[in-house]
Structure 1
Amino acid sequence: MSAGDRARARRLAFDAVHVIEVSAKTHARDAALKMLVAVGELNHAERLAVADGSSLLSTNELVKAVAATGDLDRAEAIIRRIRDLYHAARAWIELVTAMAHAGDPDRAESVARAMTDPGDRSEALAALGRVS
């Protein structure tokens, strides 16, 4: 193996370790977020979720938990701070469903129709239809 090949192999090994470390941190953050939601520590969970981003599952759990308290405005504010568009869209769909369950189908429909991506909008309207 040439010196250049060894240097490249070393760099790739360090890159692989970094990916594993980041993945482990994300997993640990998501586990902590789920625990905070489970024990009702929504303020702490919210700070953790929006600080660096979280997995789709843990973000949706937080939005559902906040919406379940009846604070739909706060759930909406959390979603607006989600940087990942896919995660945000999934959270909006969860919130639309929660709004309908909370007895506010007009607001739920308004939120669903405001979604800009046609696929996400369709999914949100379908979810709303399943609740109604």
Structure 2
Amino acid sequence: MKNNKALKQKNRTDALSPFPIRKKEGLERQEYPYAATYEGGKGAFVTYVPEGEQRIEGGQITQLSKRLNDKDAFLVLPVPKDKELEPEPDPISVPVPNRMRHIDPSIHINPPSQQQIRTTVIGAGVLILLAILLSPVGV
């Protein structure tokens, strides 16, 4: 995951190419596993998210990658929107204009199917198990 630009670009192309760009609607394609990981690429789960959400998540992944060594395992836990913690206001930052106003509220983004959720949960479980089994320290 250590800033391998060639891998990230290949994974992104492999995962996103079947899905049309919807930037005019204010939507970006989001893939999981992430393109920045070795597991990303063809076969990734892809959905459309508001442009701002995509940028926030991309920034979070970038920050995470700075703290990890290459091939370190990490766990992603999806949090429902209604359970997210409100971010603490930063008294130093300058307010940024709301770039989400142009998004059509009638756009409906389908949630993942039960099969997609099961596949993701099973895949995460397998990754955790492999990380434990392959870890030189163990649990």
Instruction: Give the TM-score of the pair, scaled to structure 1.
Output: 0.29
Q: With CA pairs under 8 Å and 6+ residues apart, which has the higher RCO, 1 or 2?
A: 2
Report the structure, 1 or 2, having the larger helix content. 1
Which has the higher Rg, Structure 1 or Structure 2?
A: 1
Question: Structure 2-normalised TM-score?
Answer: 0.27
